């Protein structure tokens, strides 16, 4: 698709973060049901998922922290990163590696002032100028989408497509993670862009075999990394 040409600005960043950003599995108890979300997460971790993002909008703060603590234990056991959506209080209290925020949440600049050194901040946006401002304020990676239509996040807006994803990944100095409607079948064409990886909720949370889904989603990114 011609997306791979030119210099790669992301190769100078923390390699362990780059590797973890190949696949972020976003939790959703509603999608995982009737299975416990934690059971689906554990299968995803068994399948090699390098990062989990806790995103459960319906839970109270206390419940969210309890789930966060269980996921911290699980991700720790498998050597995966744990991010928490929106809530840096829960992220800090659970000992998570980072927080993921969007335009409606606490700003990256306000977060960066408050979190410990090395704490990872992800920021959702699909606009290059806004992404660069977020990076300037301290964002470690950008979540960009929805690449395709998505059914799991009702406020994700219209699909931006692969060209715009690639333009974003080329234009900002930190890893760009593609999100929105990504399935195992589509992972190959996303990996042909300069996106560092993908974030999915439905493709893993609803999978009959979450470990297998993780393998299929990651394979094109691992093959790409192995290329000379």
**Contact residues for a copy of itself (CB under 8 A)?**
60-63, 65, 86-90, 92-93, 101, 103-107, 110-111, 113-114
Structure tokens at 174: 């930190």
Shortest Cβ distance from residue 77 to a copy of itself (Å)?
21
Structure tokens at 18: 């780059």
Q: Which is nearer to a copy of itself, 63 or 73 (CB)?
A: 63
Q: Which is nearer to a copy of itself, 80 or 101 (CB)?
A: 101
Per the CB < 8 A criterion, the answer to whether 108 and 83 are in contact is no
Shortest Cβ distance from residue 68 to a copy of itself (Å)?
10
Q: What's the count of helices (H) and strands (E) in the chain, helices before strands? A: 11, 8
Hey, is 149 helix, strand or coil? coil
Q: Which is nearer to a copy of itself, 20 or 64 (CB)?
A: 64
Q: From CA 130, how far away is CA 123, in angstroms rounded?
A: 10
Shortest Cβ distance from residue 109 to a copy of itself (Å)?
10
**Could you give phi then psi for residue 188, rounded to 5 degrees?**
-60, -45
Shortest Cβ distance from residue 64 to a copy of itself (Å)?
8
Shortest Cβ distance from residue 112 to a copy of itself (Å)?
11
Per the CB < 8 A criterion, the answer to whether 211 and 50 are in contact is no
What is each CA distance from 192 to 168, 175, 176, 186, in whole angstroms? 14, 15, 13, 10
Q: Which is nearer to a copy of itself, 14 or 114 (CB)?
A: 114
Total residue count of the chain as it appears in this document: 228
Shortest Cβ distance from residue 45 to a copy of itself (Å)?
24
Hey, is 74 helix, strand or coil? helix
Q: Which is nearer to a copy of itself, 84 or 176 (CB)?
A: 84
Per the CB < 8 A criterion, the answer to whether 134 and 123 are in contact is yes
Q: Which is nearer to a copy of itself, 61 or 151 (CB)?
A: 61
């Amino acid at each position: 698709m011609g997306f791979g040409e030119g210099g790669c600005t992301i190769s100078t960043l923390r390699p362990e973060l780059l590797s973890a950003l190949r696949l972020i599995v976003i939790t959703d108890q509603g999608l995982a049901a009737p299975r416990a979300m934690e059971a689906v997460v554990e299968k995803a971790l068994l399948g090699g998922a390098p990062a989990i993002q806790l995103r459960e909008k319906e839970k109270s703060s206390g419940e969210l922290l309890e789930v966060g603590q269980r996921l911290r234990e699980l991700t720790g056991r498998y050597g995966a990163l744990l991010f928490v959506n929106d809530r840096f209080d829960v992220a800090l209290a659970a000992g998570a590696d980072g927080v993921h925020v969007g335009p409606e949440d606490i700003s990256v600049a306000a977060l960066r002032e408050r979190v410990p050194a090395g704490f990872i901040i992800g920021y959702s946006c699909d606009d290059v100028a806004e992404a660069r401002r977020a990076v300037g304020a301290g964002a470690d990676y950008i979540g960009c989408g929805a690449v395709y239509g998505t059914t799991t996040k009702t406020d994700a807006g219209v699909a931006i497509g692969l060209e715009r994803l690639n333009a974003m990944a080329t234009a900002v100095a930190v890893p760009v993670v593609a999100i929105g409607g990504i399935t195992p079948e589509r992972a190959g064409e996303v990996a042909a862009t300069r996106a560092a990886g993908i974030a999915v909720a439905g493709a893993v949370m609803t999978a009959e075999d979450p470990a297998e889904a993780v393998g299929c989603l990651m394979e094109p990114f691992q093959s790409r990394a192995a290329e000379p």
